[in-house]
Amino acid sequence: MKPPSAPTKTVVHDHAFTRALMAYQAGNSHEAVGLCRHALASDRDNFDLLNLLGTALLQLNDCAAAATSLEQAIARRRDRAPSWSNLGAAYLALNQPAKALEAFEHALVLAAGDDISHYNRGRALRELGRHAESLQSFERALALNPRDAEFHLSRGSALIALEQREAALEAFTQALALQPNYAEAHLNSGIALCAMGNWLAAINHFDKALELRPGYIEAHHQRCVANLELGHLGLALQDSECAIRIDANSAIGHNNRGVVLERYGRCKEALIEYTHALNANPDFPQAHFNRGTSLKYLNRLDEALAAFACVLMRTPG
């Protein structure tokens, strides 16, 4: 997530605000929050203090409190684009993408050239499943700031969602040209290459992602799948077990381990893994399907049919 837009002072002689702003700019958001709250006790309608409080709380990832303060600030002044942009970021963090989108659109009415608001608007649209529109927002952000690796990464993710894999890989490559040690860009390059059937090249990117970020569970998940496709069962098993060590409740990790064990013909052990996966995520269609397959191999046909029925219940359309 991009850092919050920095507040600016609109009341020149507000000493309390100045002290709080200096603390925030020095990187001491906790002190800024305390100073703002102390000053607001006797000046509850001060826009600058409410806005700075919300911005500092957002920096501290206290997003619910940040949203409340920013809403109060905007109720007093609706013409400040950074306030709307920060409110949108708080809503995104609170998994409220529709409200976030509305806030970013307010920000862009006031500041159409703000690359961060275009970028965050794209993120909100992505969360709403509106991938073509999210791509447009990421491209507007890039037109304003073409050297931001995160913008290229998000553009690539939108292209993946739109099944434009070659274009997505090009976007991830551009991100890596700007930031060679960008673990997420290596991960996503690997995902694009997997979608294109280039498993070995994908594994090279997953290896690099894990070198840059040891314990990157998503890279273990993806490398497991690539190794499975290449028939490297031992390596796939290692990745699934690494993922489970990182997160014992990883539904994907347990599901992947089950798939590997099933390839080894160890269906009873695979069944246990699928059960673990479903305990972690009861709405995981692939784990229900894989569990059904193991039950079928074990000649437990009634249970297999019930598992396949669970897949149908959880599969759209």
Q: Tell me the whole-structure pTM to 2 decimals.
A: 0.89
From CA 45, how far away is CA 47, in angstroms rounded? 6
Quick: pLDDT tens for 142-170: 999 999 999 999 999 999 999 999 999 99
**Residue type at 89 in one-letter notation:** A
- Residue 65 CB coordination number (10 Å): 16
Burial degree of 129 (CB within 10 A; 0-12, 13-18, 19+): exposed
Burial degree of 164 (CB within 10 A; 0-12, 13-18, 19+): middle
Quick: pLDDT tens for 80-119: 999 999 999 999 999 999 999 999 999 999 999 999 999 9
> What residue ranges define each of the domains in the chain, with the CATH number in brackets?
1-146 (1.25.40.10), 215-317 (1.25.40.10)
Chain length of the chain:
317
From CA 298, how far away is CA 278, in angstroms rounded? 19
Write down the H helix ranges in 145-198: 149-161, 165-178, 183-195
Quick: pLDDT tens for 178-194: 999 999 999 999 999 99
Q: What are phi and psi for residue 200, nearest 5 degrees?
A: -65, -45
